[in-house]
Amino acid sequence: MGANERVASLLLRLAIHEKEDLVVAGYSHQDLAYMLGTYRETVTNALDHLKSEGLIEVGRKRVVLRQVERLRESAQEERTGKHLRSEGVLQRSHRTIQRVSALRRCQQQR
C-alpha cells in the first residue's frame, strides 16, 4: 500500500463540502503526515503526484478535490488492504492537531 493511496484516502475522509467543491482545509503537510504516521516529505511527494494527475489542487493549508471518483479509485487499494491507522486513531490525531493549532494561535496573539 503506497503513500499516494494512503494520502488519497485521508483526503477523502477529511474533505468537507464548500460551495460546489470538496475541500480539505486547515491542515499543513506536517499535520497530514502526523495523521498517517509518516514523514512530511512523503505527504508532499504524494500530494505532488496527485496534483500532477489532475486529481487535486493544492494551496496553503487547502486541498481541493477535483476528480473525486478517480481519487476514490486511487484510495480503494488502501481500503481493501490493511488499515495503517484505525478510524479511532485518525479521529484522535485530528483532535490533537486541532488542539495544537488552537494553542499556536493563542501563542501568536500574545
Q: Does pLDDT of 46 surpass 80?
A: yes
**CB contact at 8 A, 105 and 42:** no
Average pLDDT rounded to a whole number, residues 34-45: 95
Cell numbers at residue 30, please?
506536517
Name the pairing type of β-strands 21-25 and 56-59.
unpaired
Global confidence as pTM: 0.71
**How high is the pLDDT of residue 92?**
60
Residues 50-105: tens digit of each pLDDT: 999 999 999 999 999 999 999 999 888 555 544 444 455 566 666 677 777 777 77
**How high is the pLDDT of residue 29?**
95
CATH C-level class of 3-109: mainly alpha
Which of these, 95, 29, 93, 98, lies nearest to 62 by C-alpha position? Answer: 29
Q: How far apart are CA 45 and CA 17, in angstroms?
A: 25
Q: How far apart are CA 25 and CA 70, in angstroms?
A: 20
Identify the residue whose cell numbers are 509518516.
38
Q: How far apart are CA 83 and CA 41, in angstroms?
A: 21
Q: How far apart are CA 49 and CA 32, in angstroms?
A: 15
**How high is the pLDDT of residue 94?**
65
Q: Give domain limits for the chain.
A: 3-109
Residues 6+ apart with CB under 8 A from 100: none
